[in-house]
Amino acid sequence: MRRNIVIAAVTAAALIGGGTATALATTGDDGRSTTPRADVSVSDDGGVRDESDGHDDDSADDRDDRDDAALASSAKVTAADAIAAALRDTPGTAVSADLDDEDDDADDDGDDRGERAAWEVDVLSGDGTWHSVRIDPASGKVLGSHEDADEDDTAEARAALEGGSVSAAEAARAAAGKSTVTSVDLDDDGDDGPAAWEVETRADGKGEQDWRVDLKTGKVTADRSDSDGSGSDDSGSDDD
């Protein structure tokens, strides 16, 4: 009974204090230790630290970052190649391409394969309709496509692209010299200056970085609004 009371008191102290609690070994009537020592602490950020190795458990964000980096490095089909494949299937102008690790259209298309990584390319056709085309990142084959009736940015996209000579595929190739491209999007809201292609790159050990590619010159500059980036002012052009 006394042993149970001691253990309960130590456990309560750990829960209330939010700090380090040590369960001390107690001794039974025969003099032998009956409770093993367990050292557990709660870190300042709320994570649980195992004192045996001194490291916090990985956060969900850290695991997601590693998963995204692994997906990017394993994709054999580049963003530029995925855009080209999508335009062969659905003629028009590619406005964005994103490497997606989840099949968001599985339920709508009746596809019960579950989650499957794919490039998702948004294409604006000549008649003003929008199409979403999914490309296999391993083979470059078209996994499916559908019309996106909810898209209402036709006028904005056309206005931003007017006078520009750099396509989404060319922007992806220009930024590929920085790292592995995981997305290309037309930034036409004007918050970060004139309309441009916004390209995201990712790699193991480098994290995520956003770049802006000029629609007219193809010049690549670091996106200064990207809080996760290195803040470097590297620039260059890899126009084809």
pTM, two decimal places? 0.65
**Distance between alpha carbon 60 and the CA centroid of its chain, in Å?**
12
Mean per-residue pLDDT, 141-155 = 90
pLDDT in tens, 13-56: 444 444 444 443 444 445 554 444 444 344 454 444 444 455 44
CA distances from 209 to 72, 81, 87 (A): 13, 21, 27
Highest mean pLDDT among 56-70, 111-125, 134-148: 134-148
Instruction: Compute, in degrees rounded to 10, the torsion defined by CA atoms 209, 199, 175, 171.
Output: -170
| Alpha helices per DSSP H over the chain | 2-17, 60-74, 79-89, 106-109, 154-161, 168-175
Q: Does the structure show a pLDDT above 70 at 123?
A: yes
Q: Does the structure show a pLDDT above 80 at 204?
A: no
According to the model, what pLDDT value does residue 12 have? 46
- What residues contact 79, with CB distance under 8 A and at least 6 apart? 97, 99, 119, 169, 172, 176, 181, 182, 183, 184
Residue with the two structure tokens 């300042």: 44
Token pair listed for 44: 């300042």
Sheet holding 235-237: strands in order across?
142-147, 130-135, 118-124, 93-100, 180-187, 196-203, 207-214, 219-222, 235-237
Q: Does the structure show a pLDDT above 90 at 120?
A: yes
According to the model, what pLDDT value does residue 62 have? 63
pLDDT in tens, 60-115: 666 666 666 677 778 899 999 999 999 999 999 999 999 988 644 444 444 444 45
Give residue 217's pLDDT band: very low, low, confident or very high (50, 70, 90). very high
CA distances from 48 to 16, 57, 138 (A): 15, 6, 38
According to the model, what pLDDT value does residue 74 have? 83
Average pLDDT, the chain: 74
Q: What is the DSSP letter of 82?
A: H
Mean per-residue pLDDT, 165-189 = 94
Token pair listed for 127: 């008649």
